[in-house]
Structure 1
Amino acid sequence: MKDKKLTNNFKLSEFIKVDPNDYQLALLQLLADNLQLVRDFLQEFALPKKTVSISISSGVRTQADYDRLVKNGYNPSKTSDHFCGLQLLSKPTLGAADIVVKNCTLSMKEIAAKIIQWDKDGLVHFGQVIYEKNPKTGSEWIHIGNDPTLIFNYNFVQVVQRQKYLMSLDNGKTYKAFK
Structure 2
Amino acid sequence: MSQKESFRHQPSTALRAGIQSLQVVHPSPSSDTSRRRGKESNAAPFVLRPRLLQVQLIAEQEEEEDARSGQLQLQTNLTIGAKQRVVMVLNEWNVERPASYLFDAPKPEGDSTSVTIPFQAVKPGDYLVRLMIDGAESQLQVDDNPDSPTYEWYVGPRVTLA
Q: TM-score range by the shorter chain?
A: under 0.3
The two structures have a TM-score, normalised by structure 2, of: 0.22
The two structures have a TM-score, normalised by structure 1, of: 0.21
Which of the two has greater helix per residue? 1
